[in-house]
Amino acid sequence: MQDKPIIYLYTDGASSGNPGPGGYGVVLKCGEYRKELSGGFMKTTNNRMELLAVIVGLETIRWPHAHVEVWSDSSYVVKAINEGWLKNWELKGWKKVKNVDLWIRFNRIYKLHDVHFNWLKGHAGHPENERCDALAVNAGAGAYARGEQLPEDYGYEDNTLI
């Protein structure tokens, strides 16, 4: 088996109000390659955007069984994996799980790769984290400034699938 390089996935989510306009930002790095992604919603929450950033980043990876190092300032996301919350939620049939639609979507893509989660302190000068924050904030502000009614991130209240 040929060794594949490590993919570094940096993510951040932002919301102005909870719920309110928000967005996500992603920076993917692999060797000399770099890709940035972002998206905004009129009505969402910070935790949904933090999680969606990871999902979008993982969904962007084209080869199977990639070794991915995720760096996030979201304790919610990092602890859900590193402390086994995700496994427990799945075993209990996703009952009473907030953002269940996104966690199920995450779980599908997460299982396709070798993913390790690392927490980093937000707004502490880490270049990729700062870039992700700027992408997320700008995406949320852009959705708000355009006065869009869609995309609206349904599911923040009732956990219905998007």
35-44, 138-147, 152-161: which has the highest mean pLDDT? 35-44
Confirm whether 69 is a catalytic residue. Answer: no
Active-site residue, 133 included: yes
- What is the CB neighbour count within 10 angstroms for residue 22? 33
In angstroms, the CA 144 to CA 151 distance is 11
Given 23, 25, 39, 50, the catalytic residue = 50
Burial readout 68-104 (b: 16 or more C-beta within 10 A, e: otherwise): bebbbbbebbbebbeeeebeebeeeeeeebbbbbbbe
Q: What is the mean pLDDT of residues 75-85?
A: 97
Q: How confident is the model at residue 147 (pLDDT cuts 50, 70, 90)?
A: low
Which pTM was predicted? 0.89
Is 12 an active-site residue? yes
User: What is the Cα–Cα distance from 55 to 2, expressed in whole angstroms?
Assistant: 26
pLDDT in tens, 6-30: 999 999 999 998 888 999 999 999 9
Rounded distance between C-alpha atoms, residue 5 and residue 17, angstroms: 39
pLDDT band at 2 (very low <50, low <70, confident <90, very high): low
Choosing from 73, 101, 128, 153, the catalytic residue is 73
